[in-house]
Structure 1
Amino acid sequence: MPPATTRSPDEPAPRQSRPTMVAEAIKAWVMEQGLKSGDRLPGEAELIERFGMSKGTIREATRILEAQGLVRTRSGPGGGTFVHEMSSDRARALLSSYFYFRDLSLADIYQVRRALEPEVAASLAGKLSDSQLQQLEDIMAGYNAPARTAEEEREQHIASLSFHATLAEMSDNPLLSFIIAFVTRTLSDLTVYRKLYDPPNHALWAEGKTYQGDLLRALRAGDSDAARTTMVAHMQTAQALMEAQEAEVVLRLTV
């Protein structure tokens, strides 16, 4: 696949189509009006008058918004076009499609994890409830023993990454939560389709289990410095072990 082309800073941005411009105008209007998920948009005739566009343009703009997951159209009695809140799963799926051909590396992923996850861990030290800490412990219970098969390794790796996504969701910063959940999901997908779980990596399991245990103790004790330091070491060790695993898989496939 040819590399993506980049636009010069002096080059004008591509001109948007009328439906695209109207879709953006509708989004801005929804924000200005403070509409929430489930609120009905004005009827087609009112949109035509408000935005001064043809019926065809308004309908195409609505289809664009629906494809983006921002509105939902229902037919029949009580039907119409309604504001719709996109789920985080759908947002991550759309973002995954963008990165599908970007050939992300483990180094790309861990660069983001090293930058964000230690700070999230530090910010949550001493702030998690007993039920939240128990939720993290329950996830760890799913990989108490090292995997015996490649299939068990795959499931344990996914569960271990869910520990990090769950911890991020406990942050009061929704952007950080979303980014970390997306990155861990991307790493999980990469592990599966590159088969980095075969053969089972007992060193990765043991190191990960130890670091997560230390992290939980720091979170419970309210020690933000220890939580940050532990997560930094965890990310560095995990990256090294994962890259070694990937090199072994590549070597096995080429001999």
Structure 2
Amino acid sequence: MRVADEIKQWVVERDLKQGDKLPNESEMIAEFGVSKGTVREALRILEAQGLIVTKTGPGGGSIVGEVSAERARSLLANYFYFQNLSVADIYEMRKALEPELVASLAGHLSAEQIDELQALAERHPEPARSAEEEKQQHISSLEFHARLADFSDNRLLGFVIGFMARILTDLTVFRGLYDPPNVDLWRKGREHQLQLVEALRRGDAARAREVMASHMQVAEAFMQEQEAQLMRRFVDD
């Protein structure tokens, strides 16, 4: 792992970009002063992480890859899967970041982006009639937030918020927090999303921040109640 880290640092120091070729195996052995087996293991680690791509055959070798945001979120989610996150943990972050995200987006979204958000907000015009429909509505709602994150010019802010939408989706599904269906959560969530889209359409940053802050407060309360109901059912069983 140490050599893999050294190779990453070597790439950074030389400002190599996606598609740039790494030295061949013999050159890397000399550069890092390690054995052939150690170099190969380091390259396997970096390839598994998506940081390099190795091609075989004539003209082959290792080139710098690019880790997609989705892959990075998946790897990070694997870590948090074992951390016993609570709804409160996630919403502590969401309440701090998402109102500022939407305020920064106001007046900077294209008509196509606004229309996409409008379509997402209108996707479920009726409350869920079953736990399965409720699950799909939860997932759709979080897709709305993930798209907001995708539209941010601040890549770090967008990544963190998109990641929170991802782990909240996983938490909702794995713990069954969508059962039983909650009409009030559907109604308030839909109202907030439509109000937010309208604020973004007008370029009203203050209103967008206000709506998202309210949405976070309401959603957290509902989700914590769902979590409490799940625990009560567990104890009763």
TM class, shorter-length: over 0.9
Q: C-alpha distance in 1, partners of 2:134/2:159?
A: 26
Superposition deviation, residue 71 in structure 1: 1.0
Superposition deviation, residue 22 in structure 1: 2.2
Partner of 2:62: 81
Q: C-alpha distance in 1, partners of 2:30/2:41?
A: 16
Partner of 2:36: 55
1:56-91 alpha-carbon deviations (Å, 9 max, x no partner): 222222122122221121212232111111111211
Alignment of 1:240-255 (within 5 A): 240-255=221-236
With 69-78 and 97-106 compared, the bigger mean Cα shift is at 69-78
| RMSD, aligned α-carbons | 1.2
With 108-117 and 138-147 compared, the bigger mean Cα shift is at 138-147
Structure 2 residue 7 is the aligned partner of structure 1 residue 30: no
Partner of 2:102: 121
Q: C-alpha distance in 1, partners of 2:224/2:32?
A: 54
1:12-71 alpha-carbon deviations (Å, 9 max, x no partner): xxxxxxxx3322221122122222222221100111122222222222221221222211
TM-score (structure 1 length as normaliser): 0.89
Structure 2 residue 147 is the aligned partner of structure 1 residue 166: yes
AA aligned to 1:52 is G
1:141-169 alpha-carbon deviations (Å, 9 max, x no partner): 22121111111110011000110110111
Structure 2 residue 3 is the aligned partner of structure 1 residue 42: no
With 210-219 and 100-109 compared, the bigger mean Cα shift is at 210-219
User: Do the aligned residues in 1 keep the contact of 2:47 with 2:53 (CA within 8 Å)?
Assistant: yes
User: Do the aligned residues in 1 keep the contact of 2:4 with 2:45 (CA within 8 Å)?
Assistant: yes
Q: C-alpha distance in 2, partners of 1:226/1:159?
A: 23
Secondary structure of the residue that 1:104 maps to in structure 2?
coil
Alignment of 1:172-183 (within 5 A): 172-183=153-164
Identity of aligned residues (%): 56
- Matched length: 236
AA aligned to 1:27 is K
Q: C-alpha distance in 2, partners of 1:59/1:248?
A: 51
Alignment of 1:221-240 (within 5 A): 221-240=202-221
With 27-36 and 118-127 compared, the bigger mean Cα shift is at 27-36
Q: C-alpha distance in 1, partners of 2:234/2:130?
A: 19
Q: Which runs of 4+ in 1 moved over 3 A?
A: none
Alignment of 1:78-157 (within 5 A): 78-157=59-138
Higher relative contact order (CA 8 A, sep 6+): 2
Superposition deviation, residue 245 in structure 1: 1.5
